[in-house]
Amino acid sequence: MIIRDRSMNVTPYSSGCGALVSGIQLATLSDNELTSLRDAFAEHGLLFFRDQELPPAEHLRFAERFGSIVINKFFKATSDFSKIAEVRKEKTQQTNIGGGWHTDHSYDEIPAMGSILVARTLPKTGGDTEFANLAAAYDALPPAMKKRIANLRAVHSNEHLYGENGVYRHTDLAEQLGGMDRVGDATHPVVIKHPESGRNVLYVNPGHTIQFEGWDFTESRVLLDELYAHVNQPQFTCSFNWLPGSVTFWDNRCTWHQAKNDYQGEARLMHRITLAGTALTAFSFKLLLALLSHSYLLVLSF
Ligand code: SIN
């Protein structure tokens, strides 16, 4: 990629997942740096930052420079900033928020573009966040599987997690979550064309995808589990260890994440801002076939 600002460095975090951005402060980005950051975000879909001075007011200002904010219906906001959600686990609590693989807001009709997570209170060890790269995972699917899922759509929901009888209501997080009367579903293509990078991305996730449209639950489960096992491989995943001053910015259209719950007896508090996206469009498999057969015919005609 072309770096428009000489001070900013973008290096791959692992071979197939994320990039570490250094040489900038998110609170005082120049317009050039912001443009470079947009390019890096479109290319990698997952950016890690260290040693940031980003108090809540600056977190909000950075997010607003990048896009418009969507407020999460279920998490509590901080007392001073209604647009900053708390991802909180007290030392007395057993359950954490986001402890299984998921994509933020895939249950919305227009899913969130990205999430910016800032570490506020960290356990002495543990509490890493793991990520998966869904564009790389799609590329590596066998052609027969790509063909099989090409025209499928999937239903994404939040009811089984945050609804009246949802998983979280039976845990020690119940008191701090709201919105149980605002649950809902949305249906999206299983393979989307990423709005900025143009890459094909597998858009299903274990947290929110409940079944394929027009399929029954059990039949859906078998194929979903096969896809999930494919994504959850070391070549598409990475783990980020949080330090004071760490920030992560991920693209919800092409990643999964999960927070490790391996620090019982200690508190962890993160501040999250979620950025609004655009309606998702399906990747056109028919178009690809048409292009391939066209180039095949061109080759034959020479
Ligand atoms: C989340 O799921 O958005 C939170 C991730 C984390 O706390 O590491």
CB 244 within 8 A of CB 52: no
Distance 258 CA to ligand 1 centre (A): 6
Does position 55 have pLDDT exceeding 70, yes or no? yes
Tell which atom from ligand 1 comes closest to the C-alpha of 259: 8
Distance 99 CA to ligand 1 centre (A): 8
Average pLDDT, the chain: 93
How far apart CA 162 and CA 13 sit, in angstroms, is: 33
Distance 197 CA to ligand 1 centre (A): 24
Distance 232 CA to ligand 1 centre (A): 17
* C-beta of 60 in contact with ligand 1 (< 6 A): no
Rounded to an integer, the average pLDDT of 189-216 is 97
Does position 292 have pLDDT exceeding 80, yes or no? no
Query: Given this model, what pLDDT does residue 122 score?
Result: 98
* Predicted confidence band of residue 288 (pLDDT cuts 50, 70, 90): low
Distance 47 CA to ligand 1 centre (A): 14
Give the residue whose CA is nearest to atom 7 of ligand 1: 259
Rounded to an integer, the average pLDDT of 170-199 is 94
Pocket test for ligand 1, best of 117, 238, 246, 262 (most atoms within 8 A of CB): 117
Rounded to an integer, the average pLDDT of 201-214 is 98
* C-beta of 136 in contact with ligand 1 (< 6 A): no
Percent of the chain with pLDDT over 70: 92
Quote the pTM value. 0.92
Query: Given this model, what pLDDT does residue 237 score?
Result: 98
CB 127 within 8 A of CB 263: yes
Query: Given this model, what pLDDT does residue 270 score?
Result: 98
Query: Given this model, what pLDDT does residue 7 score?
Result: 87
Burial class of residue 267 in the structure, from the number of CB atoms within 10 Å of its CB (0-12 exposed, 13-18 middle, 19+ buried): middle
Distance 50 CA to ligand 1 centre (A): 17
Query: Given this model, what pLDDT does residue 283 score?
Result: 84
Tell which atom from ligand 1 comes closest to the C-alpha of 248: 8
Give the pLDDT confidence of 140-181 residue by residue, as tens digits.
Answer: 999 999 999 999 999 999 999 999 999 999 999 998 999 988
Query: Given this model, what pLDDT does residue 297 score?
Result: 47
Among positive and negative, which fits the CA dihedral 239, 61, 274, 76?
positive
* C-beta of 111 in contact with ligand 1 (< 6 A): no
Return the residue matching tokens 């039976």: 170
* C-beta of 129 in contact with ligand 1 (< 6 A): yes
Beta strands in 37-122 (DSSP E): 46-49, 69-70, 85-89, 114-121
Cα 259 versus chain centre, distance: 12
